[in-house]
Amino acid sequence: MSADPTQVLAFETDCHIFDGCGFPAPGLHSFLFEPIWGHQDDAVYFNKTMLLALLGSVIIIGFFWAAFRKPKVVPGKLQLVAEAGYDFIRRGVVYETIGKKEGEKYVPLVVSLFFFIWMMNLWSIVPIAQFPVTSIISYPLVLALIVYILWVSLTFKRHGFVGAFKNFTGYDKSLGAVLPLSMTIEFFSNLLVRPFTHAVRLFANMFAGHTLLLLFTIASWYLLNGIGIAYAGVSFIMVIVMTAFELFVQALQAYVFVLLTCSFIQGALAEHH
């Protein structure tokens, strides 16, 4: 859970239902953290989400380095797990979407994106950390921006200016009189809405999931008083259910992000008709 002062105070003062204190509902304040280093008003500071992102990167790099630093023909357990994950993204996402010939060069990027996002999501259920980094919009936004720049640059490189314009606007002269309207909608949809929705899809799912986990966790503690204990038990069961569901959503959202990434790359490389 986040280091929210309101929630911390509620726990420290042993505040429960019927004690005369209100329910410390989670909200936007649950996603704000005091800097570990520096000050909130400083141009540069370091907080919990940055620390988790850094640790997540180190864990991923360390895992794959340990798995492949001395690869064997008959892989050990660590190498086997790493190969399974790598091969799943390479064959199941990149090859299936872009194709083997065109897609091979993008495998490192897509694999890196998948495992980085998955790790950032997994922090939500890791004790002490208990916060999904991707529930802060700036992280999905930067990742979506990287994909966006790649997609736009590939489109111009493959098709030239005129071809890229047709690609972005969905130019099709058979549309006749509605062509200008169609091109305008496609232009704004592709160049403005697409990167936004790419980022928000990941952010919104992790934001909502973390809020629900907070809600049921706090409720379990808050209801531990008198007849509220029965309801606290139900709430705690929901914590377990939501945690299991979050495990599924965390992997799914990482998968959807890279699947859309490959779809964008495939669209940039495809010939416009």
Q: Where are the beta strands (DSSP E) in 38-128?
A: none
Give the 3-state secondary structure of residue 66.
helix
Q: What is the pLDDT along the chain (273 residues), one digit of tens a residue?
A: 444 443 443 444 467 777 667 777 788 888 888 888 777 667 677 889 999 999 999 999 999 999 998 888 888 889 999 999 999 999 999 999 999 989 999 999 999 999 999 999 999 999 888 899 999 999 999 999 999 999 999 999 998 998 888 888 887 877 788 888 988 898 898 888 988 999 999 999 999 999 999 989 888 888 877 777 888 888 899 999 999 999 999 999 999 999 999 999 998 988 654
How many residues in total does the chain contain? 273
Pull the structure tokens for residue 244: 């299991």
- Residue 272: predicted pLDDT: 58
Report d(CA 89, CA 91) in Å as an integer.
6
Global confidence as pTM: 0.87
Give the 3-state secondary structure of residue 226.
coil
**Residue with structure tokens 């790598």?**
86
Would you list the domain boundaries of the chain?
A: 5-269
Pull the structure tokens for residue 222: 């808050």
Report d(CA 245, CA 237) in Å as an integer.
12
- Residue 11: predicted pLDDT: 44
Q: What share of the chain is helix, strand, coil (3-state, %, to 5)?
A: 75, 0, 25
- Residue 19: predicted pLDDT: 66
- Residue 9: predicted pLDDT: 39
